[in-house]
């Protein structure tokens, strides 16, 4: 179980494969286990590193101070710990905030930046959604908060098979490193304070942005406007996919991601 003493935490991370490093940064409520469909294809040519952000997975203490900026500092410290001079950085949703903060403060360490269903905007609607989920989790029947979350995450095709829904609920409840309610609230309270003002103009690295056509969390038009302000950006919309685009449409995500990583593999 690889861990690293970084700043004021013990960070858990997964590290597999060989080749140019790719660091995958999970979003809100998620950890290193959230990247399933992308891992095997990326391992063909890369070292894939998946950290557990503060308040998630096996990183401790669970209630350590957290923010996208602090998580970005942790990733940079992890790169130093692993003696990685440069890496590709991929962030999903809130993980995209972390990835962008890292690219803004240490662009010389970044070969490329990929944002999945993420843009430099923090909507109060999102706070309301996650706070409602916290309240449901606190007072509602077991699993109800997950059933309430899934329509926001997945394309409507996910719900065509009831057994798929039940399997996802059961797997989430059985996951031994699931985020606790206290850690979930702690992470949300930190997110409410985040203000990614003018972040797009601070990103001076090759950037791939993949948006989901049917994303209910990140509004497509507003995200597109902001992402287009990134100087070295390539933006694509994945059809028939929701916010968890790498689960809804992994083949399409990889069709953009793998050539992009290959294109920007040069450097130190």
Position 94 confidence tier, pLDDT thresholds 50, 70, 90: very high
Q: Report the pLDDT averaged over residues 52-60.
A: 98
- Pairing mode, strands 9-17 and 46-51: antiparallel
Greater model confidence, 197 or 32: 32
pLDDT in tens, 118-138: 999 999 999 999 999 999 999
Residue-range domain boundaries for the chain: 3-263
**DSSP secondary structure, the chain, as one string:** --EEEETTEEEEEEEEESSEEEEEE--TT--GGGGHHHHHHHHTTEEEEEEPPTTSTT-B-TTS---HHHHHHHHHHHHHHTT-S-EEEEEETHHHHHHHHHHHH-GGGEEEEEEES--S---HHHHHHHHHHHHHHHHS-TTHHHHHHHHHHS-GGGGG-HHHHHHHHHHHHH-TTPPPHHHHHHHHHHHHT---TTGGGG--S-EEEEEETT-SSS-HHHHHHHHTTSTTEEEEEESS--SSHHHH-HHHHHHHHHHHHHHT----
pLDDT exceeds cutoff 80 at 267: no
Residue-level pLDDT at 156: 95
Which distant-in-sequence residues (6+ apart) come within 8 Å of 191 by Cβ?
28, 94, 122, 126, 127, 130
> Looking at the domain 3-263, which fold is it?
Rossmann fold (3.40.50)
Residue with tokens 């962030």: 91
Q: Whole-model pTM?
A: 0.97
Mean pLDDT score across all residues of the chain:
96
**From the centroid of its chain, how far is CA 171?**
20
Token representation of residue 228: 């287009």
pLDDT in tens, 172-210: 999 999 999 999 999 999 999 999 888 888 999 999 999
Integer Cα distance of 63 and 58 in angstroms: 12
Position 1 confidence tier, pLDDT thresholds 50, 70, 90: low
Integer Cα distance of 4 and 77 in angstroms: 9
Token representation of residue 213: 């056509």
**How many percent of the chain have pLDDT more than 70?**
99
Residue-level pLDDT at 268: 43
Residue-level pLDDT at 147: 96
pLDDT in tens, 200-253: 889 999 999 999 999 999 999 999 999 999 999 999 999 999 999 999 999 999
pLDDT exceeds cutoff 50 at 45: yes
């Amino acid at each position: 179980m690889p861990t690293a003493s970084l700043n004021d935490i013990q960070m858990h991370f997964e590290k597999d494969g060989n080749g140019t490093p790719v660091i995958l940064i999970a979003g809100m409520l998620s950890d290193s286990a959230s990247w399933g469909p992308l891992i095997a294809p990326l391992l063909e040519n890369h070292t894939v590193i998946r950290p557990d952000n503060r308040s998630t997975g096996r990183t401790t203490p669970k209630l350590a101070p957290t923010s996208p900026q602090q998580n970005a500092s942790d990733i940079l410290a992890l790169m130093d710990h692993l003696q990685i001079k440069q890496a590709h950085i991929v962030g999903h949703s809130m993980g995209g905030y972390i990835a962008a903060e890292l690219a803004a403060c240490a662009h010389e360490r970044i070969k490329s930046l990929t944002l999945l269903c993420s843009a430099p905007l923090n909507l109060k609607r999102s706070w309301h959604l996650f706070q409602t989920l916290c309240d449901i989790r606190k007072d509602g029947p077991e699993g109800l908060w997950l059933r309430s979350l899934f329509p926001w995450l997945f394309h409507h095709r996910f719900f065509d098979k009831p057994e798929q829904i039940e399997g996802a609920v059961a797997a989430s409840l059985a996951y031994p490193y699931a985020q606790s309610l206290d850690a979930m609230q702690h992470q949300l309270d930190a997110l409410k304070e985040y203000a990614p003002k003018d972040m797009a103009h601070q990103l001076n690295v090759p950037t791939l942005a993949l948006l989901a056509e049917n994303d209910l969390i990140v509004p497509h038009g507003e995200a597109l406007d902001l992402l287009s302000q990134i100087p070295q950006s390539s933006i694509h919309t994945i059809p028939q996919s929701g916010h968890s685009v790498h689960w809804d449409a992994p083949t399409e995500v990889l069709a953009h991601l793998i050539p992009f990583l290959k294109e920007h593999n040069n450097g130190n």
